[in-house]
Structures are given as C-alpha cells and as structure tokens.
Structure 1
Amino acid sequence: MSKLMGALAAVLAALAAPAGAARGAIFGPHVADCSPEAGRPAMLVQVTGFKSRTGLVRVQSYGNPKRFFEKGAWLERVEIPTPANGSVEICMPVPSSGTYAVSVRHDVNGSGKSDMKDGGGLSGNPSVSLTDLIFKRKPDPEEVAVHVGSGVVTVPVVLKYVQGGSVKPIRTAFR
C-alpha cells in the first residue's frame, strides 16, 4: 500500500509542477558539459514544436556574429534521431564566454537534405518568412545572439515549418 501511495504522490507532484518545469533527457555527445559539475561554458538547446517524431534533429552552434549561419562556419554540430517524445535538449559546449548563435533543423524524412517538409529554428526565435528562406536571408545577429558566461545557458528554440505561404510553428505540434 505504501508503494501505491508513493507512486500516487509522485504523479500528483508532477501534475502540480508548472508547465515546462520538467526537463527532458539531454542528448548528444556533450551531455557532461551541461552538468553543474562541469563548470564550463555551454548552451543547453531546448527544442520544441515538432511536427512529427520522425527523422533527425541537427543543432549547430556559431561563434562569429559576422558569420552566423554561414555554410561551414559552425563551431559544433550534433545530429541525433528525433526522440519519440518530450522536448529535445542538446548540450552544445562553447570554447569560452562570449556571444554565440544556434540553428536547429528537423530533417523530417532523415534524408540529410533540406526540403520544404523540414522544420527549423534559430536562437532567439526570430520571425522568418518564406521569402527569407527562398533568398537565404539571415536574421540580424542581435536577434539571435546568445550571451554565454562561465556556465550553462538555456536556449529555447521553437521549430517552424512551411505552411501554405508562411513559416510558423505547428499548432498541434508534438512537443
């Protein structure tokens, strides 16, 4: 009976927690870099808003504001299979305190190539138009800048997908 009461108490505590309070599992090769014991600068990228739970998630970090999101200018790249549920948290270590940016791509079909079904997001969650995508316009570096000190900074990224003539989050997303 006491095991049942303990389980019931745990469920009630989870239900009482504020939305978003629960942390998902941290994925990727740098999990230890985001632990409090590491004492190193890092970004914990929290990705939400998945259209589906298929394919791959790729996170890239950038360190030079003049080259944010340029092809091949990333500092670190982590790619994982899309987890079956929950938010996706990926630890991205950085070399030192400073200003960084993050891009995320949800390769829905796992092809390794960008297509119109894929989703994406950037640190700072700037607005992106279909025209921006077509002409490969990058947001202002100030909009996407992440200031990292000596510890771990959480970077929320909400995925956006092409829907009709716009790019926006999925309303019934698989968080």
Structure 2
Amino acid sequence: MIAKTLLATAIAVAAVNPAFAQAEILGSDRQACTGNGGPAIRVNVTGLKDRTGRLKLELYPANEADFLKDDRDLLAEGKVFRRVWADTPANGAVSLCIRTPRAGRYAILFTHDRDGKNKFNFWKDGAGFPSNKRLGRSRPKVTQAVIDVGNGVTATNIRAQYLRGLGGFAPSDS
C-alpha cells in the first residue's frame, strides 16, 4: 500500500513538472511529501533570481480576511497557519514541502528571502503564488494563492517574481 502511494505521488509530481521528479525536497516538513505523511503540498519553485538567502512557504486560511494576516493573530484565534524555511540550494531543482492539518482549501505564499533578514524586503526579495499570475504593484488577492489539497501530496508549481521597475513584481525573465 505504501509503495502504491509513493508511486502515485511520484507520478503526480512528474506530471506537474518532469524536471522535479528527482528533486530533493526541502524544508522541515519534507517527510510529509516523501513518506506517507500527507496531506501536504509540494511546491516546485522556478525562476529564482539567484541562489542566496532562504526560501519560505506559509500556509493560510483561504479567505481574504485571514490571508497574509499576522501569524500570532491567526494562531491566537485558533486558525490555520504554518511556516516552513529552507536554505536556498546552490544548484538544481527546488522543491519545498509544507504539511496541512487536513485535506481542504488553503492559501499558500512562497518567498525568497535573499538577504536572510526574515523580513520581506520589497526591493530585493521575491514572492510567488500557485496561480503564477503577474503580481504587479498591488497587495495580492487570496484568489492568487488558493490551492485545494487532497489526503495525499498535492503538487504545484510556483514561479518566483521580483520587483521589476515601476510595473511591480513579475518573473525575472519576463
């Protein structure tokens, strides 16, 4: 049974993006994506500007009021919040894993903390969401970040975006 589950997960990830089929999974929740520990989200990240700093995934409730809300407030209110950090690998494909409390709908945020200061630097750091729509200059909407998670591992691709002049955030190669 476990072998079938692992095979199904590998096939699903390869179908989302074959380049990530053999990628090392990063983050403290990696076991949830490699073992039978779901529900979890495997995020395959592309478009990193460089290989500096750290990578972060954050899990939020999938509603506008709670999306990007301070983690202390969410936890105090008994709402979903989870954060996973990983050092940026020097090379190779980048995949991160984050556990979810149960199957359901969530919002997820990816950030590339290039200066390692654990505070989003609008001028340097990158961000991304599952929709991969150009972020522009305005605060992101929860609809850009929503992902439906099943009982196993749900794979998604996120393209990192960085500030690109007056137009706001966009992929670094656009």
Q: CA deviation at 1:20?
A: 4.1
Give 1:22's aligned residue: 19
In structure 2, list runs of 5 or more residues that go unmatched: 1-13, 75-79
How many corresponding residue pairs? 149
Give 1:11's aligned residue: none
Distance in 1 between the 2:119 and 2:147 partners?
27
**CA-to-aligned-CA distance 1:52-108 (integer Å, 9 cap, x gap):** 111111111113424122221462111111111123211111111110111111111
Q: How does 1:137-152 map to 2 (within 5 A)?
A: 137-139=139-141, 141-152=142-153
Distance in 2 between the 1:159 and 1:20 partners?
16
Give 1:171's aligned residue: 173
Distance in 1 between the 2:150 and 2:16 partners?
27
Q: CA deviation at 1:168?
A: 0.8
Q: Who wins on radius of gyration, i.e. which is larger?
A: 1
**CA-to-aligned-CA distance 1:20-50 (integer Å, 9 cap, x gap):** 4132110111112113533x21111111111
Does residue 94 in structure 1 map to residue 100 in structure 2?
yes
Q: Judging changes above 3 Å, is the alpha-carbon distance between structure 1 residues 129 and 25 closer, same or farther for their aligned structure 2 residues?
A: same
Q: Is the 8 A contact 1:126 1:144 kept in 2?
A: no
What is the RMSD of the two structures over their aligned residues, measured on CA atoms?
2.3
Distance in 2 between the 1:159 and 1:88 partners?
11
Give 1:49's aligned residue: 47
Q: Judging changes above 3 Å, is the alpha-carbon distance between structure 1 residues 27 and 19 closer, same or farther for their aligned structure 2 residues?
A: closer
Does residue 120 in structure 1 map to residue 127 in structure 2?
yes
Distance in 2 between the 1:35 and 1:149 partners?
15
Q: Which amino acid aligns with 1:48?
A: T
Q: Which amino acid aligns with 1:62?
A: Y
Does residue 129 in structure 1 map to residue 136 in structure 2?
yes
Percent of residue pairs identical: 32
**CA-to-aligned-CA distance 1:135-157 (integer Å, 9 cap, x gap):** xx231x33321111111111211
Q: Which amino acid aligns with 2:67?
A: F
In structure 1, list runs of 5 or more residues that go unmatched: 1-16
SS in 1 for 2:69: coil
Q: TM-score, normalised by structure 2?
A: 0.76
Q: Is the 8 A contact 1:45 1:89 kept in 2?
A: yes
Distance in 2 between the 1:111 and 1:143 partners?
25
**CA-to-aligned-CA distance 1:108-157 (integer Å, 9 cap, x gap):** 12122222111111222233122x1xxxx231x33321111111111211
Q: Which amino acid aligns with 2:43?
A: V
SS in 1 for 2:18: coil
Q: Is the 8 A contact 1:65 1:99 kept in 2?
A: no
SS in 2 for 1:65: coil
